[in-house]
Structure 1
């Protein structure tokens, strides 16, 4: 994601294939380079990504509902993303977003008529049950797992390869599926839009190879895959557009071109010649090319910038040394030089200053600022507050960060800002795997961590619970501040169980402010993501959430 960036929920990394707000002023408020037009059919669309491999196995995926896997794999529910409307959860394979009973502990879905795989065989509720069950298997790790702790018995279930069936998923007939939860969960319709809720026919399942050519339920199927080179999609003739309100299925073919250097890819899109005319970049535009694109009137109209989205933040390891003291953490809030931090990422187009944990575009968000300071920080106040804690001149901390050039430059900007407040920061750059292991593992041997977080779905739950619930410390989870507050845990549980979304929003806003009183992180910016596309690419836009293009609507000029 990775910045490490987002090691969880949809990490926002410069090379992410999207496995997570003012638009660019010149592009208007829609975050789009043109108003969406009527669907046009035909052509070959190229998607340029730095990834060297890609799997379409839904059990292993963190892909957003509107990006790569959404072209091939449908889910029980999905997202309706448009340029100028809030994100909505809508039916996909199901007839509605779910019917809640038993106070929100039981959710029932009915499948639409006429659903088929690419081989013409029918999609059944048993296939969705099996697809979800296989996501519990150790052989298929890496996917989103919100459902695992929610389904009754999910904490002990080991998957279908060794553990039989999960009885809390019931299929009374071929078109009905029922989920039994441990406790009420108001965001279950959003959870049902995650990749694991894709149907998988048991007869076609090979956990070692399924991701290379899965049973397609969407408008495209995987035609061929060469690791490190390309993955080719062609039309699924069994897909019925009458059952699908969110996918346009414009191009005849879609080619994911792998192992693309971000700088080279951006330069090709700027040049807009040959295949680049029919291409777009899946990775963020590097700072140098971003500046170049903004200055060139022939390119500026093909640069699409999201509204403020993912939260970039500096996490304090609240279990380490002086950082155990909430007064120290509060003092350090004033030492962040957000101005230099943004400049390192390309300037104001890279994001807007953050003060809350719930990010823009999420219903229920309330704005506040507990630690007001100039963009460059308030070093005098930071020094004064640190002096009151007895750490005015002896505070030395280690910051672990990605070795990605932009993340490293941002870390250096923060390092220099903290030095002005008398705090010495030593940087420890790591590659994405080592960084993820260090901050999500059980040792907790770091002081500070620079990360970024894109929720997996537009609910405050996606901002708060993964990062601040004490159950999410270590064991591969993402509470990187190792923050533990029993009162906050209780508040999170209450908000999660509220089915009424307006009431839930108010509860989450209270949780947000309560956590920031304890200052386990410094919210830095709500990041903006910029993407380039070729001149023949149409209907390329970014909604209020998420801060990524909607692949499902893209067409080519004919």
Structure 2
């Protein structure tokens, strides 16, 4: 056997900190969640796993081919391939109605999609459907039967199942990135069994169905996860996924990266989970570089917070914060971690390598080292000359804690005291941020997050819609309820602009406006190329650009002849158990959002 000849069998074992933000595709928006969900939930279109630009172009998944487009560019007819089946008893074909159901589920008022604007601004009638869905259950908690009843009784004007294998999607305006939008995890097919469950509820997790190569057989939040082969899946009906291993085990524990590294070297684990462990000798292929940068980290504000007389609602206070951050020292902090990725100072909301990026610096400081004096001047002008206290959320695992302590020290020098509030797990952190009630209650004022776009290439909307378009519903990625009618207008204009160059100019105008408003404070941009450490028996390691460069588990296989080095453990599928405790250190990125947010 050679390295390029896949073998079947064995159990792929992950080990590390953190869990999933959600198991439900309708709302999951965290990198680790997407690694798992793509193994059991399929979309109409997706991306090849490759280390070059071909990985950026959406191709058919459950769709049989590219859509047939009407003369006006608004009506898209999509045919579905046959043989794609749910793991029901007996197995049942995936239908066009399953995709209609999946798209409707994103609008649910319990825990909705973090990027709902991709769809409400594109598919005819979806904005009205989402608004009516929220209004119907405002002020009360619906049951699963309530939600299913609403979805059955109300249609999205631009979604029609024409028989079991034809889906018609009508748009509000032509969209040259429609396939990118339909390739997001949110747009997964949903079987009729999901009508019996509240979205992402424990009942949903126990009843989740698969149309991919693996199915979820157990999940204990922040503790463990196991997937096994889906007997209903056929490789010849899936152009994007393989399924070489028999099972996938994830053991989740609050451990540092050295503990995970030791486990991989001993052969007790195959890959890190939750926080990347960097290989000391693996160099990412050059073709995987330069595909676009992530914003990682940035500071975001809770513009609903009543704390300190609504301090962060005051533009002068936010500008004070923007002047306080020592970005150059943050670059050194990341460089000292030897992460194997390119990190540089960020001045814009849309970083280099993404549609709409233009370099400019609205709040310059000497050498990008911060300006505490200017921070104090702005605070005094805002009426906080005697100082200010801000509540800052942070996660205990490094480098999240390092980043929080770092910007807290920066703000202290500028006259702002930071009260650090610990959120212990990454998945809980984002559940917290995506809950509007916690923002309104003032449970946080400021926090560090990260953003990797949902796709690279033609991706202007993948930056500004989730983060900056008005959206303060459950599951939002506009965590602090930033809203500006001019930004909303510019977004609509960019989406309607047929000229790509002019559209990019409009995305840049959005960037300038949100920075003028200090909706966020960009700190660093990084090339999210991660040289992941792999165990001695792992083969076929290919990164997924659309999932924050994490490795495609569906493409991995295990070499049964490989053995650990002398002094290492056996790494057998059975009997290996990894233990350890403590806080994480030296992980690859703040985000780890989520591709997406710090999700993921």
TM category, shorter: 0.7 to 0.9
Instruction: Name the structure 1 match of 2:505.
Output: 506
Instruction: Name the structure 1 match of 2:95.
Output: 124
Instruction: Name the structure 1 match of 2:363.
Output: 371
1:138, distance to aligned residue in structure 2 (A): 4.9
Distance in 2 of aligned mates of 1:48 and 1:302: 22
SS for the counterpart of 1:490 is helix
| TM-score, length-scaled by structure 2 | 0.72
Structure 1: runs of 5 or more not aligned: 1-35
Structure 2: runs of 5 or more not aligned: 137-146, 424-428, 561-600
Answering whether residue 185 of structure 2 is matched by residue 217 of structure 1, we say: no
Instruction: Name the structure 2 match of 1:47.
Output: 14
Answering whether residue 299 of structure 2 is matched by residue 314 of structure 1, we say: yes
**Residue pairs, 1:67-106, within 5 angstroms:** 67-85=35-53, 87-101=56-70, 105-106=74-75
Instruction: Name the structure 1 match of 2:168.
Output: 178
Conservation of the 8 A alpha-carbon contact between 1:488 and 1:514: yes
Instruction: Name the structure 2 match of 1:463.
Output: 463
SS for the counterpart of 1:164 is helix
More off after superposition, 507-516 vs 150-159: 150-159
Name the CA shift for 1:502/1:281 in 2 (closer, same or farther; >3 Å).
farther
Report how many aligned residue pairs link the two structures. 508
Distance in 2 of aligned mates of 1:82 and 1:216: 24
**Residue pairs, 1:284-295, within 5 angstroms:** 284-285=275-276
Name the CA shift for 1:117/1:387 in 2 (closer, same or farther; >3 Å).
closer
Answering whether residue 446 of structure 2 is matched by residue 441 of structure 1, we say: no
**Residue pairs, 1:297-446, within 5 angstroms:** 299-301=280-282, 308-316=293-301, 326=315, 329-342=318-331, 347=336, 349=338, 351-373=343-365, 377-379=369-371, 382=374, 386=378, 389=381, 393-406=385-398, 407-420=400-413, 422-431=414-423, 432=429, 433-434=431-432, 436-437=434-435, 441-443=439-441
- Select 1:109's aligned residue among 78, 89, 98: 78
Distance in 1 of aligned mates of 2:298 and 2:22: 29
Answering whether residue 242 of structure 2 is matched by residue 245 of structure 1, we say: no
Distance in 2 of aligned mates of 1:541 and 1:275: 21
Conservation of the 8 A alpha-carbon contact between 1:539 and 1:553: yes
**Residue pairs, 1:466-505, within 5 angstroms:** 466-469=466-469, 471-473=470-472, 477-480=476-479, 482-498=481-497, 501-505=500-504
Q: Deviations over 1:273-313 (max 9, x none)?
A: 2332xx2112114xxxx6xx67xxxx543999987524321
Distance in 2 of aligned mates of 1:393 and 1:127: 58
Distance in 2 of aligned mates of 1:229 and 1:380: 43
Name the CA shift for 1:108/1:266 in 2 (closer, same or farther; >3 Å).
farther
Answering whether residue 528 of structure 2 is matched by residue 538 of structure 1, we say: no
Q: Could you say what the CA RMSD is over the residues aligned between the two structures, in angstroms? A: 3.9
Conservation of the 8 A alpha-carbon contact between 2:16 and 2:272: yes
SS for the counterpart of 1:504 is helix
Distance in 2 of aligned mates of 1:529 and 1:353: 17
Name the CA shift for 1:314/1:215 in 2 (closer, same or farther; >3 Å).
closer
Name the CA shift for 1:38/1:493 in 2 (closer, same or farther; >3 Å).
farther
Distance in 2 of aligned mates of 1:519 and 1:228: 34
1:318, distance to aligned residue in structure 2 (A): 5.7
Distance in 2 of aligned mates of 1:491 and 1:143: 20
